[in-house]
């Protein structure tokens, strides 16, 4: 059996969560090296979770899941948020993507509490760090990355792997 035949249930499910426009889809594309998810500066571009089974060095056989923003609004928006939250039940490792210039807001903090309640290990990825004057060092579960400028993408993957 080749690695690509690994059944979905045996693969680690790595899900990317966060507010709209923080760069979740961009980061998914950077981490996977593929154009899996549509990227734009329009709020609510990702309307449904996007899943892809793949091999990623140095992690191995995984399923990568991109999700809609957890601050989406309106009737459809609320349905998208529910779709995103439903992904929690199949998540082994969560990546909370945050805009590095804005930092964690209340919605992000509530989500980290949700991860903790559900015993889901998580990493906070401060994206768009290319827009900061100086890139802060990574800590045990926080890292500054840039999906656009390919900064600390490999390091993020190493953190997921550990």
Ligand X SMILES: Nc1nc2c(ncn2[C@@H]2O[C@H](COP(=O)(O)OP(=O)(O)O)[C@@H](O)[C@H]2O)c(=O)[nH]1
Return residues touching ligand X (CB under 6 A).
18, 20-26, 39-41, 45-46, 69, 127-128, 130-131, 146-148
Q: Rounded distance, CA 43 to CA 103, Å?
A: 18
Half-sphere exposure of 146 (CA within 13 A, CB side): 13
Residues 52-91, interacting with Mg ion (CB under 5 A): none
Q: What per-residue string of b and e applies to 13-43 under the rule 16 or more CB within 10 Å gives b?
A: bbbbbbbbbbbbbbbbbbbbeeebbebeeee
- Minimal distance, residue 115 CB to ligand X, in Å: 18
Six token digits for residue 38:
């549509």
- Minimal distance, residue 38 CB to ligand X, in Å: 7
Q: Is residue 25 a contact residue for Mg ion (CB under 5 A)?
A: yes
| C-beta of 23 vs 93, nearer to ligand X | 23
| C-beta of 24 vs 80, nearer to Mg ion | 24
Q: Is residue 127 a contact residue for Mg ion (CB under 5 A)?
A: no
Residue 80 interacts with which of Mg ion, ligand X, none, CB < 5 to 8 Å by class: none
Residue 84 interacts with which of ligand X, Mg ion, none, CB < 5 to 8 Å by class: none
Please spell the DSSP secondary structure of 93-139, one letter per residue. EEEEEEETTT---HHHHHHHHHHHHTT--EEEEEE-GGGSSS-PPP-
Residue 49 interacts with which of ligand X, Mg ion, none, CB < 5 to 8 Å by class: none
Q: What per-residue string of b and e applies to 111-128 under the rule 16 or more CB within 10 Å gives b?
A: bbebbeeeebebbbbbbb
| C-beta of 3 vs 78, nearer to ligand X | 78
Q: Is residue 29 a contact residue for Mg ion (CB under 5 A)?
A: no
Give the interface with Mg ion as residue ranges (CB under 5 A): 24-25, 46
């Amino acid at each position: 059996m080749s690695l690509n035949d690994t059944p979905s249930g045996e693969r680690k499910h790595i899900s990317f969560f966060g507010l709209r426009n923080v760069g979740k889809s961009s980061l998914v594309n950077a981490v996977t090296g593929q154009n899996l998810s549509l990227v734009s500066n329009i709020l609510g571009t990702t309307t449904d979770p996007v899943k892809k089974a793949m091999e990623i060095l140095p992690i191995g056989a995984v399923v990568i899941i991109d999700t809609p923003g957890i601050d989406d609004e309106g009737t459809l928006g609320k349905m998208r948020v529910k779709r995103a939250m439903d992904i929690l039940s199949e998540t082994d490792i969560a990546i909370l993507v945050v805009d590095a210039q804005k930092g964690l807001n209340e919605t992000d903090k509530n989500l980290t509490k949700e991860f903790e309640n559900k015993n889901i290990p998580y990493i906070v990825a401060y994206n768009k760090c290319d827009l900061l004057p100086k890139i802060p060092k990574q800590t045990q579960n926080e890292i500054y990355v840039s999906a656009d400028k390919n900064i600390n993408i490999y390091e993020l993957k190493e953190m997921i792997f550990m």
